[in-house]
Amino acid sequence: MDILTEILAPAIEEARRSIPSAAKLEAKADCPLFGDGGVDSMGLVRFIIMVEERIEDRTQVQLTLASDKAMSRKSSPFRTVGALAEYVTECLDAEGYDG
């Protein structure tokens, strides 16, 4: 499954409609997600919930994306849309999902 187009793109569409700071978010790998040019911290929390729900609906896997592991990485998985896509793929792999 292509995470960027199948999970993040529809989540971004939903976020643009309902999260004020997400108006400029785009389903492009280099689009900033959090911080400069991206969403604010409450926007990120709400966006992560949207992504987790879409992953659950698509794969039946319940991921916790904002884990201590994710938060303590030197290079944040939430810095760009592409970084998040890679991180989701990694988490799904770790859960043994191979769809």
Partner 1 sequence: MAEGVTLVTGARKGLGRAIAEHYLALGHFVVGCSRDASDLEHPSYRHFLADVADEAAVKPIFTYLRKEHGGLDHLINNAGIASMNHAMLTPLSTVDAIFSTNVKGTFLFCREAARLMQKKGRGRIVNLTTVATPLQLEGEAIYAASKAAVLSLTQVLARELAPLGITVNSVGPTPVPTDLIRSVPKAKMDALLARQAIPRFGEPADVINVIDFFLSPASDFVTAQNIYLGGVV
Residues lying near partner 1 in the complex (CB under 8 A) are found at 18, 42, 46, 49, 53, 56, 62
Shortest separation between residue 29's beta carbon and partner 1, angstroms = 27
Rounded-to-10 torsion of CA 98, 81, 63, 56: -70
Which CB, 5 or 18, lies closer to partner 1? 18
Two tokens, residue 99 = 């769809």
Measured from the CB atom, the residue of 42 and 94 that comes closer to partner 1 is 42
> Please, what is the minimum distance in Å from the beta carbon of residue 74 to partner 1?
27
DSSP, res 75: S
| CA-wise closest residue to 81 among 42, 35, 19 | 35
